[in-house]
Structure 1
Amino acid sequence: MARDSLPSIGLGTYSEENREQWRDTVETALDVGYRHVDTAQVYENEEYVGEALQSASVDREDVFLSTKTVHHDVPPEPERVPDAIDGCLDRLGVETVDLLYVHWPSGVYDHEAVLPAYDEAYREGKTRRVGLSNFTPELLDEALAVLDAPLFAHQAEMHPLLPQEDLVAHAQEHDYLFVAYSPLANGEILDVPEIRRVAEKHDATPAQVSLAWLLDHDNVAAIPKASSREHLEQNLAARDLELDADDIELIDSINRRERQIDPDHGPWNW
């Protein structure tokens, strides 16, 4: 797996309001040194992400751009998936994306109806890679049996309060990347005593410790969200934080388990 093609830390861009902020935030992130930006149709910010890419001083080919479609209720039927993919490209203002995810394997999703549209987008060069998001191991196996395009990545929530051992093991076994969203557990990780102890030991932030713990796993990348330049810089610097065996053991000993993104349509709730 050519892991170098996906930067280990990227920028997540989900927000429930003030979606225009991502024009400036993405441009700032690129200036700071980020080279992976993740968005989605349902985030309703693709046009702002695209504008940032166009106005930034970084060449488009130097930025790994990911988006997602097929939310649990968008588009309304599988036949419209090709149009939804084209819509993502139009809003981003690009002819191709580096990675196109199925956003949720629920609602309108049907593997035999939806995945061929992703294969077609791959063959036509509309996406350089195909990914899945929020799948279970069983649904990943089902998808792998249908997809012609190689599976490049699976994206799901992961952090020290939700280690996702089974999903990480599946990624390692089948040689694709696991991309962790909500890697700071929506801020919950910042006050966990074990995380704070490791942060104090290394003169680092708790966010950096959580990100470094994720990157300690083989085949795992992370897409934290941040808005200020300071936090963008701090998160990116987590790539240089080396945790030792005692740090990992302490973090792994956390007995609190908590999922932040838990909609009824999540397949783990079926």
Structure 2
Amino acid sequence: MQTITMQGVSIPRLGFGTFRMPGGDCQPVVESALALGYRHIDTAAMYENEAAVGAAIAAAALPREDVFVTTKVWHDGLGSRDAILRAFDASLAKLALDHVDLYMVHWPSKDMDMGVVLETLTELRERGRTRAIGVCNFNMPTMRRAIEDVGAPIAALQVEYHPFLDQSAMLAYLRGRGIPLTAYAPLAQGRAAEDATLKQIGDKHGVSAAQAAIAWLLDQDGVIAIPKAQRAESQRANLAALEVRLDDEDRAAIAALPKDQRFVRPPFAPDWDARTL
């Protein structure tokens, strides 16, 4: 598995997402993914499946250092240092692990104290309870504040990213600081599989449109993808995308696709068009 190393922590470039897999039904799905070779599992308190993910990891009986585990604190748990610590303790207990590899702010809260939030995550990192810290769904001004003003040791940003959404400005900013971008919804919630351009590229390489979309993400420096897949054959196909090699013609065709399609827009999302604070 290809990895990206940030702050001495190696992150597998193709992870396994578990959003909308609540409860115990998640356990056999994650067990299947681990058996097939996935070594990066992404969960969150809000997904209500941390216990199932932890049980799957235990059942796999892999060396702990071989599995990269990400979880996240929900935006309603960012009110104070104690609230964040309680949320972390609850997540770790459900996962039944002695540490996680990456602990992230799931969504920014409009009234959160950025300094307190990131200092608390940094404290967890310094205590060895998480190996790295990160943030999700931060726009450019919020990201700049976290890195340039607070000086937090951000090891990854997780945002929506797929062939129909432009993240070039954020990627340029992150690359200048050696920070990877983790793409969630990398298949645009299933839309990539039906896109004619991606199907054409997939046919050219003997793969599916979805595999072409994942290959396009992994073709980019500093990008990690975390597709989810419940069926073993889909999990296997996503792994096979690691072997697809796109050419300049493929890249140009994907570059010509509309890049303004954002599909994750909860009411508490930040202003994605904001450029300054």
> TM-score, normalising length from structure 2?
0.92
Query: Which position in structure 2 is the counterpart of 1:52?
Result: 56
Letter in 2 for 1:250: A
Instruction: Please tell me whether the aligned partners of residues 215 and 245 of structure 2 are also in contact (alpha carbons under 8 angstroms).
Output: yes
Letter in 1 for 2:33: A
Kindly report which structure 2 residues correspond to 1:46-195, keeping only aligned pairs within 5 A, or say none: 46-69=50-73, 71-74=74-77, 77=80, 79-107=82-110, 109-145=112-148, 147=150, 150-195=153-198
Q: 1:236 aligns with which of 230, 236, 239?
A: 239
1:174 is displaced (CA, Å) by: 1.0
Render the CA deviation track for 1:26-71: whole Å, top value 9, x for unaligned.
11000000000000011110000000000113222100100000x2
| Separation of aligned partners in 1, 2:132 and 2:160 | 20
Query: Which position in structure 1 is the counterpart of 2:30?
Result: 26
1:78 is displaced (CA, Å) by: 5.0
Render the CA deviation track for 1:162-203: whole Å, top value 9, x for unaligned.
131112112101111100000000001111111111011111
| Separation of aligned partners in 2, 1:12 and 1:179 | 11
Change (3 A) 1:155 1:18: closer
1:37 partnered with 2:54: no
| Separation of aligned partners in 1, 2:270 and 2:252 | 30
Query: Which position in structure 2 is the counterpart of 1:8?
Result: 13
Aligned residues: 268
Change (3 A) 1:148 1:89: farther
> TM-score, normalising length from structure 1?
0.94
Change (3 A) 1:99 1:256: closer
Instruction: Please tell me whether the aligned partners of residues 165 and 258 of structure 2 are also in contact (alpha carbons under 8 angstroms).
Output: no
SS at match of 2:55: helix
| Alignment root-mean-square deviation, CA | 1.8
| Separation of aligned partners in 1, 2:171 and 2:134 | 15
Where structure 2 has 5 or more consecutive residues not aligned to the other structure, the ranges are: none
Percent of aligned pairs sharing the same letter? 37
Where structure 1 has 5 or more consecutive residues not aligned to the other structure, the ranges are: none
Instruction: Please tell me whether the aligned partners of residues 119 and 152 of structure 2 are also in contact (alpha carbons under 8 angstroms).
Output: no
1:236 is displaced (CA, Å) by: 0.7
Change (3 A) 1:18 1:122: closer
Letter in 1 for 2:189: N
Instruction: Please tell me whether the aligned partners of residues 79 and 113 of structure 2 are also in contact (alpha carbons under 8 angstroms).
Output: no
Instruction: Please tell me whether the aligned partners of residues 122 and 149 of structure 1 are also in contact (alpha carbons under 8 angstroms).
Output: no
| Separation of aligned partners in 2, 1:94 and 1:57 | 13
Query: Which position in structure 2 is the counterpart of 1:266?
Result: 269
